[in-house]
Amino acid sequence: MIRSNQKNESYIHSGLDIGSNKICCAITRINPAKNSIQLLGIGTSPATGIKKGSITHRDKLIDEMENAFHQAQTMADINVENISLGISGDHIKGINTQGAIAIGGSNGSNIPIQHEITHNDVSNVLDLAKAISLPMDRDILHVLPQEYVIDSMDSIQDPVGLTGRRLEARVHLITVATSAATNLASCAEELGVRVDGIIYQGLASSLSTLEDDEKKLGVVCVDIGATTTDIVVYLDGGVRHTATIGIGAASITNDIAVMLQIGIDEAEKIKITYGSAKASMSSPDLEFEVPAKNGELKRKISEHELSRYVEARTTEILQLVMREVARADINDKLTYGMVITGGGAELKNLSGLAQEAIGMPVRIGKPSKISGELDIASGPSFASAIGLSQWKRFGSDLNIKESGKGFVKDTIKNVKNLFNEFF
């Protein structure tokens, strides 16, 4: 299970999901003693200042972030001082690595003797595991332990208190482009809040949608956004692989716009209203009118014809996802298959197509184990924001601190092992 690093006092925190199509802010009240999460406020704003995780217009993005943040605060009737930011983009990379240390002292013959493992030992072995060579423009975002090995005993979730001669840590690192993280944090600073952490949005979505049994027995969480899709593979409670691919639900909208020769906004409405991820689930006899332009006569097209294009692009996205799942190099079966979340998960009949395409169980991931204002935030498009609002409970792996006039690379501090149990 994920171990909380918070005391039993109730507290309030917020999360800001910054997507290419929509920005969403969630404010929650966390009560560790009762293990309860209450949604207090939610706010959304269209996003025009960021694409695929890269800021394209800073002032527009700040205004849009502020709009979503203000809505959430107004609904919650509270002023929030801390926030967790979500980050995505194909600049994010995951890598599996490991480190090992000798435990305790020696008996004078350079042979390590058995010694009880301490928190400091765990910290040291994680330091060694993350000591990889990175380009100057990249930093470690998350250090996620998969398992520990003591001498010849593997699959250990928590080694503290056990004895041995050698401690090994197998971990998954998520790295990020430094400029992307610092620029995002500097925008959030304009809201007058403290950035507690920057979190990979795929992890945030999995936090609010996955069950512990799913993580133990094998599952892949797929967050389909507008222009990116985040992928997180779990097995034995740990993260085995992460990836972000530079394609999302907006590609389906673009296909419709090109096919029907209409604007993007009109294509999005048609996708939501008439599109089906599985063409066989739509009727060739049901037709709808295509908006006319430039004095042209109105046209009609069947839902089935439209859905053929939708299915083709959706299948491509699923194929790219499964290519990344294969790179996790997991021989064991992912018992719980795939959980699809994010705004792209709202496409009709998506789970049916996915289950048929990948040959595994598929469900749509919605925020769970949360109370409060869920009547307006129960869909998969809110999963990341709600997960981000809970992150402080479990720790933040990357802290961005104010330094002078802005944010620079050496203000990024990697906090070891604060999210140290994905078990």
Q: Is residue 181 part of a domain?
A: no
Query: Hey, what are 197's tokens?
Result: 């952490």
Q: Is residue 279 part of a domain?
A: yes
Contacts of 111 (CB under 8 A, 6+ apart): none
Please tell me the pTM assigned to this model: 0.88
CATH code, domain with 115: 3.30.1490.110
Rg (CA), the chain: 23
Q: Is residue 299 part of a domain?
A: yes
- Mean pLDDT for the chain overall: 86
Mean pLDDT for 298-306 is: 90
Q: What is the pLDDT of residues 88-107, one digit of tens each?
A: 998 999 999 999 999 865 55
Q: What is the pLDDT of residues 137-189, one digit of tens each?
A: 999 999 999 999 999 899 898 999 999 999 999 999 999 999 999 999 999 99
Shared-domain flag, residues 257 and 338? yes
pLDDT for residue 414: 34
Shared-domain flag, residues 229 and 135? no
Q: What is the pLDDT of residues 350-389, one digit of tens each?
A: 999 999 999 999 999 999 888 876 677 889 999 999 999 9
Round to whole Å and give the CA distance between 214 and 236: 9
Mean pLDDT for 13-37 is: 90
pLDDT tops 70 at residue 2: no
Shared-domain flag, residues 217 and 336? yes
Round to whole Å and give the CA distance between 326 and 332: 11
Burial code (b: 16+ CB inside 10 Å, e: under 16) for 71-105 equals bbbebbeeebeebbbbbbbbbbbbebbebebbbbe
pLDDT tops 80 at residue 24: yes
Mean pLDDT for 243-257 is: 96
pLDDT tops 50 at residue 61: yes
pLDDT tops 50 at residue 396: no
Residue 150's nearest CA partner among 136, 142, 162, 139 is 162
Mean pLDDT for 237-256 is: 95
Mean pLDDT for 23-51 is: 90
**Sign of the torsion formed by the C-alpha atoms of 244, 186, 377 and 216:** positive
Q: Is residue 296 part of a domain?
A: yes
Round to whole Å and give the CA distance between 245 and 165: 42
Query: How many domains does the chain fold into?
Result: 2
Above pLDDT 70, what percent of the chain?
A: 87
Shared-domain flag, residues 172 and 217? no
Q: Which position has the higher pLDDT, 373 or 115?
A: 115
pLDDT for residue 169: 94
Q: Answer for the pair 159, 124: CB distance below 8 angstroms, yes or no.
A: no
Residue 222's nearest CA partner among 253, 252, 201, 250 is 201
Q: Are strands 229-235 and 219-224 parallel, antiparallel or unpaired?
A: antiparallel
User: Which of these three, 176, 194, 229, is where a domain ends?
Assistant: 176
CATH code, domain with 289: 3.30.420.40
pLDDT for residue 271: 96
201-209 vs 383-390: helix crossing angle, rounded to 10: 90
Shared-domain flag, residues 251 and 334? yes
pLDDT band at 405 (very low <50, low <70, confident <90, very high): very low
pLDDT for residue 52: 86
pLDDT tops 50 at residue 322: yes
**Sign of the torsion formed by the C-alpha atoms of 361, 362, 366 and 367:** positive
Domain range for 170: 93-176
Q: Is residue 383 part of a domain?
A: no
pLDDT for residue 258: 93
User: Which of these three, 149, 176, 203, is where a domain ends?
Assistant: 176
pLDDT for residue 394: 65
